[in-house]
Amino acid sequence: MSTIPYDLRSAGPGSPDASPAGPEYAEVSRDVRPAPPRYRNEIGKYSIHRAPHCAACGRCVEICRHGVHVRPEGYLHVMRPYDYRCIGPDCKDTGCFCIDACPQGALKLSENPAFETLGDHRWTPDLLMSTSTMAETGRPAGNHLEREVGASGGGFDRLRFRFPDSPPPDLRREDISTKLPLNRRGDSRPGITIDVPWYGGGMSFGSTNIRALLGKARVAKAFHGFTCTGEGGYPERFVPYKDHVITQVATGLFGVREETIQRAPIVEFKYAQGAKPGLGGHLLGDKNTPSVAAMRETVVGVSLFSPFPFHSVYSVEDHKKHLDWIAHVNPRALLSAKVSTPNDVDMVAVGIYYAGGHIVHLDGSYGGTGAAPNVAKKNIAMPIEYAIGRVHQFLVDEGIRDQVTVIASGGVRTPVDVAKAIALGADGCVIGTAELVALGCIRCTACESGRGCARGIATTDDELLEMLDVDWCTQRLVNLYSAWQQLLVDLLYRLGLDSVGALRGRTDLLTHLDYENET
């Protein structure tokens, strides 16, 4: 059972002193600190109602181990319960059950009906809640939530790990490595290694709040990882984090300039993206504000199209020329190509390698954060779960598997999904939605309506931007990454593996609930 590593009772949602201060360009600490949700009423699985006949004896404050009941220093009354933290009826067996302990019988526990209105098949209310709990506390959420799988009925949601009876006796958690080397070509370019086998996906300036983007850049710095510009250009405010920012070259070539290529440790070519495979990008005129227009070197208020595909690339030879161009402009950059998951995804991956790519980034069809036609999200290209194994096997057969890094994205929601992707044959993952959920996204999918995200995330509206704070975003993501890393280490330990690298392609450690699992 999870208990909290620090006194949550001192920090309630929305309290201004809850987030650490400091200039945004300073070193970013990897320390977990409480980062309570920014809304007053966080929605949890359970509701705790305190009746008016509460005598303010404070018994509940003493007893609850989850920070639900809070009485600030010097106050007479107990605060309205932070019931989103409550672990529900199972608490009865812990001996610390406030409902039974209250001498006045003033507390009532019930299920919160609003909870069930959250989420969808892929991101269930439990997964949303568990992600925001990790972002708040830096620790895994309690067992009252299903933290590992969604309810989509296929892919990751039906895969399970097969654990050995007991891990090797000499394996110690602290010796388990989660590091991921990104350059496997053995060429003259730097051997970049990131601390955790995932990094942040591209979200463009113009589609997402700059404060959220800075939070992503800062957590990348803290974990020696990466975030990516997306196709909206390279904001000046990213420059202090340039060693952790991937410059994306997309079909619109917005903001692609010599200096943005030269400062990047990794340059990513976005051929396609999973949410709208084979379709171009489209930024509505409303979102093309003066600052966005300046960044993209366009006219304010005009809808911006990124065509599909690269109009200069119609063959693998063209693709090679394309990579050569960037390789020449920046002789130290690693080259990554982001593609979606068509039938011939394995051939595409091989093509990327032979053209000189270090990273093959496969973006499956069910993920994505930006707006996309529903018809494309649902129907075009295959889910990532299928693509990983195909590509892995094909690269193995070609004898080049160890010369290239395969990154999977598009529906990777939890550290367990990361581990499943790796067991299927990827080296690591890129995440997107999970980070936004940590920042308060509830997947209402209305990112495109009117002024953009009403919760201040996928928006460039001046007033809505104010809803986020860079330090808070950073801390939420640092906490999330810490919790993920902890869960991943724990999983590797239970699997008896001393590094995440050792998990790659270990399909023998997986089972599928819809199969007889006998081959």
Chain contacts with ligand SF4 (rule: CB under 6 A)? 48, 63-64, 66, 68, 86-87, 91, 96-99, 109, 436, 441-447, 453-455, 457-458
Q: What is the rounded CA–CA span in Å between residue 55 and residue 401?
A: 67
Q: DSSP secondary structure string, 316-348?
A: HHHHHHHHHHHHHH-TT-EEEEEE---TTHHHH
- Per partner kind, with CB cut-offs from 5 to 8 A, the member of ligand SF4, other proteins, none near residue 234 is none
- Per partner kind, with CB cut-offs from 5 to 8 A, the member of ligand SF4, other proteins, none near residue 511 is other proteins
Nearest approach in angstroms of CB 123 to other proteins is 6
Please give the structure tokens belonging to residue 244. Answer: 């952790």
Closer of 371 and 395 to ligand SF4 (Cβ): 371
Closer of 44 and 235 to ligand SF4 (Cβ): 44
Closer of 222 and 442 to ligand SF4 (Cβ): 442
Residue 495, CA atoms < 13 Å, CB-side half-sphere: 27
Q: Return the closest-CA partner of residue 181 out of 164, 170, 197, 203.
A: 197
Nearest approach in angstroms of CB 55 to ligand SF4 is 17
- Per partner kind, with CB cut-offs from 5 to 8 A, the member of ligand SF4, other proteins, none near residue 342 is other proteins
Nearest approach in angstroms of CB 240 to ligand SF4 is 25
Closer of 86 and 261 to ligand SF4 (Cβ): 86
Q: Return the closest-CA partner of residue 332 out of 284, 385, 264, 243.
A: 264
- Per partner kind, with CB cut-offs from 5 to 8 A, the member of ligand SF4, other proteins, none near residue 97 is ligand SF4
Residue 482, CA atoms < 13 Å, CB-side half-sphere: 23
Q: What is the rounded CA–CA span in Å between residue 355 and residue 320?
A: 4
Closer of 255 and 370 to other proteins (Cβ): 370
Nearest approach in angstroms of CB 331 to other proteins is 25
Nearest approach in angstroms of CB 242 to other proteins is 28
- Per partner kind, with CB cut-offs from 5 to 8 A, the member of ligand SF4, other proteins, none near residue 167 is none
Nearest approach in angstroms of CB 122 to ligand SF4 is 13
- Which ranges in 179-300 belong to alpha helices (H)? 210-222, 258-262, 290-296
Nearest approach in angstroms of CB 208 to ligand SF4 is 8
- Per partner kind, with CB cut-offs from 5 to 8 A, the member of other proteins, ligand SF4, none near residue 378 is other proteins
314: left (phi over 0), alpha (psi -120 to 50) or beta: alpha
Nearest approach in angstroms of CB 323 to other proteins is 12
Closer of 72 and 191 to ligand SF4 (Cβ): 72
CB proximity list for 409: less than 8 A, separation 6 or greater:
201, 274, 361, 362, 363, 364, 367, 384, 429, 430, 431, 432
Closer of 369 and 405 to other proteins (Cβ): 369
Nearest approach in angstroms of CB 282 to other proteins is 8
Question: Residue 358: what residue type?
Answer: H
Note whether 36 and 14 are within 8 A (CB). Answer: yes
Q: Return the closest-CA partner of residue 244 out of 205, 213, 208, 272.
A: 213
Q: What is the rounded CA–CA span in Å between residue 392 and residue 385?
A: 12
Closer of 294 and 444 to ligand SF4 (Cβ): 444
Nearest approach in angstroms of CB 96 to ligand SF4 is 5
Note whether 150 and 418 are within 8 A (CB). Answer: no
- Per partner kind, with CB cut-offs from 5 to 8 A, the member of other proteins, ligand SF4, none near residue 96 is ligand SF4
Closer of 61 and 284 to other proteins (Cβ): 284
- Per partner kind, with CB cut-offs from 5 to 8 A, the member of ligand SF4, other proteins, none near residue 348 is other proteins
- Per partner kind, with CB cut-offs from 5 to 8 A, the member of ligand SF4, other proteins, none near residue 91 is ligand SF4
Note whether 369 and 324 are within 8 A (CB). Answer: no
- Per partner kind, with CB cut-offs from 5 to 8 A, the member of ligand SF4, other proteins, none near residue 86 is ligand SF4
Question: Residue 422: what residue type?
Answer: I
Please give the structure tokens belonging to residue 140. Answer: 């895994």
Note whether 157 and 151 are within 8 A (CB). Answer: yes
Closer of 87 and 127 to ligand SF4 (Cβ): 87
